[in-house]
């Protein structure tokens, strides 16, 4: 089991329109990859295929040496969670769901510890007994990040993790990721090419096809192809550096 994810010649069709075409992608242990591309380019679809929530029309996907959906050692942060915002549940109970094991198995001390640790990491421990309907969008996103982290997975899939979080926490979030990435492979869907490229080690550009996949500096050219318009965000010559300054 060399690779965490292996995708070979994957096609996914919605009605008559191909969302994904001939996608080949490998994710290795300890990879930290950003998946970027325009809206509607198939980024979320790709994650959902890896998770086994969708089945490809053609091609082969292997996740942690198994068929997608079989391995449960995956942490997941959905883009728009299908959750019910006024559901009667506390922050801690939500995070504990990330520790779900199997039917008839309750949560033990270790699960509780992992859930509390993750809440601490995202600075939400003080609100652990809060009802989720009383949280702001940014706080809720942090709870969902904690839920994904609490599993201590081998593969962490984050769909636009920084979408609704406040700027203060954004820096902290990347700090958390740079710590945990030694223990797992991380794939992160993002629009924020500028910020992302100074943290990740590889970028995959996806717009129906994978346009490039490789170390940050080499992938930059593929961005223009994927977006089908010039990207002036990126400057060459600065390794791991991007023109736009970020705080």
* 124 or 148: CB nearest another protein: 148
User: Is residue 110 at the binding interface for another protein, with CB under 8 A as the rule?
Assistant: no
CB atoms within 10 A of CB 218: 12
| Structure-block tokens of residue 49 | 């295929």
Query: Which secondary structure element, helix H or strand E, spans residue 17, and what is its range?
Result: strand 17-28
* 83 or 238: CB nearest another protein: 83
User: Is residue 93 at the binding interface for another protein, with CB under 8 A as the rule?
Assistant: yes
Q: Which of residues 119-148 bind another protein (CB under 8 A)?
A: 131, 133, 147
B/e letters for 8-30, b = 16+ CB within 10 Å, e = fewer, are eebebeeeeeebbbebebebeee
* Region from 74-82, 112-120, 165-173, 223-231 binding another protein, contact rule CB under 8 A: 74-82
Helical segments of the chain, H only: 43-51, 91-97, 109-121, 137-149, 167-180, 193-197, 216-227
User: Is residue 238 at the binding interface for another protein, with CB under 8 A as the rule?
Assistant: no
CB of 133 to another protein, least distance (A): 7
Separation between Cα atoms, residue 162 and residue 165, nearest integer Å: 5
How do strand 17-28 and strand 3-14 relate by DSSP bridges?
A: antiparallel
Q: Which of 89, 125, 163, 231 binds another protein (CB under 8 A)?
A: 89
* 31 or 111: CB nearest another protein: 111
User: Is residue 163 at the binding interface for another protein, with CB under 8 A as the rule?
Assistant: no
* 88 or 237: CB nearest another protein: 88
CB atoms within 10 A of CB 183: 13
For residue 214, what are the β-bridge partners? 203
User: Is residue 78 at the binding interface for another protein, with CB under 8 A as the rule?
Assistant: yes
Separation between Cα atoms, residue 42 and residue 226, nearest integer Å: 11
Q: Which one-letter DSSP state was computed for residue 208?
A: S
Give Cα 25 to chain centroid, integer Å.
Answer: 15
Question: Mask: binding to another protein, 22-61, rule CB under 8 A, as x and -?
Answer: -----------------------------xxx--------
CB of 228 to another protein, least distance (A): 31
> Which residues here bind another protein, judged by CB under 8 A?
51-53, 72, 74, 76, 78, 81-84, 87-90, 93-94, 97-98, 100-104, 106-107, 131, 133, 147, 151
């Amino acid at each position: 089991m060399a690779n965490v994810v292996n995708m070979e010649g994957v096609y996914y069709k919605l009605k008559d329109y191909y969302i994904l075409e001939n996608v080949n992608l490998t994710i290795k242990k300890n990879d930290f990859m950003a998946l970027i591309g325009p809206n509607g380019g198939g980024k979320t679809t790709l994650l959902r295929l890896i998770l086994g929530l969708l089945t490809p029309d053609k091609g082969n996907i292997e996740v942690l040496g198994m068929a997608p959906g079989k391995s449960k050692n995956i942490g997941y942060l959905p883009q728009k969670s299908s959750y019910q915002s006024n559901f009667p549940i506390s922050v801690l109970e939500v995070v504990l769901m990330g520790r779900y094991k199997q039917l008839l198995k309750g949560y033990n001390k270790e699960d509780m510890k992992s859930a509390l640790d993750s809440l601490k990491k995202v600075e939400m421990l003080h609100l652990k007994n809060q009802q989720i309907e009383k949280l702001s969008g940014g706080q809720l996103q942090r709870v969902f990040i904690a839920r994904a982290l609490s599993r201590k997975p081998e593969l962490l899939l984050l769909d636009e993790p920084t979408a609704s979080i406040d700027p203060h926490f954004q820096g902290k979030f990347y700090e958390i990721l740079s710590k945990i990435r030694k223990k797992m492979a991380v794939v992160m869907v993002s629009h924020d090419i500028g910020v992302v490229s100074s943290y990740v080690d590889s970028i995959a550009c996806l717009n129906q096809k994978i346009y490039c996949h490789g170390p940050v500096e080499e992938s930059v050219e593929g961005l223009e192809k994927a977006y089908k318009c010039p990207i002036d965000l990126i400057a060459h010559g600065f390794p791991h550096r991007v023109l736009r300054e970020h705080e």
